[in-house]
Amino acid sequence: MKQYQKLLLGFVLGVVIGLIGYYSFPEKAFPFMTTVTGFLTLVGAVFLRLIFMVVVPLLVSALMLGVYELGKGRSLGNVAKKSLAFTLLLSFMAVIIAVGLTNILQPGVGVTFDKEALAKNQGVLTISKNVEAAKNKPWYQYFIDLIPQNPVDSAARAFGGEIIALMMFSLIFGYALSMTVKDEEHPFIKVLDTIFNASLKIIEWAMMLAPFGIFAIVFNTTYRMGAGFLQNVAYFAGVVVLGLLIQQFVVYGLCLKIFARTNPWQFFKGCQEVYVYAFSTASSNATLPIALECAEKTLKLPGKIARFVLTCGASANQNGTALFEGVVVLFLAQVYGISLSFENQLVVVLMSVLAGVGTAGVPGGSLPLIAILCVSVGVPAEGMGLILGVDRFLDMCRTTLNVSGDLVITKLVSANVTEEDVKAAGNIEC
């Protein structure tokens, strides 16, 4: 059985057995289920920790090596410009799909709820605190925060919102290496390469546990939520999923066909393992090691370009998140009966694209930014309490699109750099 089939089997069994447990063995009536879920929490946590513990060394080494190898061949500028161009193009397409679908299908019309109870929801209160903290920052502070004062501290707090600052340090340091280190056999370059390969080896070990880890995570999620968690806002969730599917199979498919002259279905088939992993973990950063391995070994993309695009894309290319943010803001406007003008919807489009670029690649990383976006166009942010019940499921869906977008952009960039760029970068054939 192939690895992606094992992952898919673990996911399906987690859903099926989790639902059976939810309806047949509720925790209050069957105390032994506490032990079962506790053990599965351990299995899932060990699996995820194995992945998360190498994200920082892998990201730093991969990004430094990628920028160093591209920079010394003077092809960094071309790769970076094409990466940014394709990222913005796909993000704009995603948000336009979101705005178009939400205006046509109107999932928020007719939704009724207790506004007072919603405002007291603990999840809403937490988001509100994050929004207040963000609103108190002067505009220039956002640019200052991109440059870390202490890269070691940023590495330690990478999963608390500092990962983009750590990436910025790696980009600058990698480019400085390309300007100062002329010997490819330099000890420091060898150290970075060793760290990168050692991190991939740990990922190989983690993938042996992956089917069991995914089963454990999905079982616990399903057992706690059951099948009814979608009922209240099923239409909204359906609009989001429809938008994600259009972006994945229509937009990505056409881009691969037009810009990379590649069969989209063969490309998507090669990414199956990455999709299952992204869906199960709901984290672009946790999926980064698997995506890197897939890009180099399965898709046969240039290693140095893949390292640069994928490591940046894990936090800077969030197509699925941008689409989700667009749908949420318009959905809540419809729920509250607020008619957004064309100008306001244009603001939603632009801010969703920018927010998608700045969203942390961890579960739930988009919620504070969505709240800020709601406030900016006059939509009550506490309405987000309506979607918290389905956010985990939709987070899994949009993370899959985010990671798929990173791989698609890697392919598009690789197909559109000149032979001179690739040779200058020291193209790796895997």
pLDDT tens digits for range 258-268: 999 999 999 99
Lowest mean pLDDT among 79-93, 171-185, 193-207, 304-318: 304-318
CA atoms of 3 and 1, how far apart (whole Å): 7
> What's the pLDDT score for residue 124?
41
Question: What are the residue boundaries of the structural domains of the chain, listed by start?
Answer: 3-424
**Residue 394 in tokens:** 């939709």
Give one DSSP letter per residue of 99-110, joined into a string. HHHHHHH-TTTT
> What's the pLDDT score for residue 139?
59
Res. 396: pLDDT tops 80: yes
> What's the pLDDT score for residue 101?
93
Res. 85: pLDDT tops 70: yes
Res. 190: pLDDT tops 70: yes
Lowest mean pLDDT among 58-62, 368-372, 375-379: 368-372
CA atoms of 282 and 273, how far apart (whole Å): 14
**Whether 63 contacts 174, CB under 8 Å:** yes
Question: What average pLDDT does this structure show over 53-67?
Answer: 79
> What's the pLDDT score for residue 83?
81
**Residue 84 in tokens:** 């940014």
Residue-averaged pLDDT of the chain: 78
Res. 244: pLDDT tops 70: yes
DSSP state of 83: H
Question: What average pLDDT does this structure show over 107-111?
Answer: 74
Residue 378: how many CB atoms within 10 A of its CB? 11
Res. 79: pLDDT tops 50: yes
**Whether 167 contacts 311, CB under 8 Å:** yes
**Whether 196 contacts 428, CB under 8 Å:** no
Percentage of the chain surpassing pLDDT 70? 75
> What's the pLDDT score for residue 227?
61
Res. 337: pLDDT tops 70: yes
Lowest mean pLDDT among 76-85, 269-278, 282-291, 355-364: 355-364
Lowest mean pLDDT among 21-30, 62-71, 353-362, 377-386: 353-362
CA atoms of 228 and 221, how far apart (whole Å): 13
Looking at per-residue pLDDT, the higher value among 186 and 430 belongs to 186
**Whether 76 contacts 304, CB under 8 Å:** no
> What's the pLDDT score for residue 360?
46
> What's the pLDDT score for residue 178?
80
Looking up tokens 């010394």 gives 72
Question: What average pLDDT does this structure show over 348-368?
Answer: 59
**Whether 382 contacts 113, CB under 8 Å:** no
Say which CATH class 3-424 falls into: mainly alpha
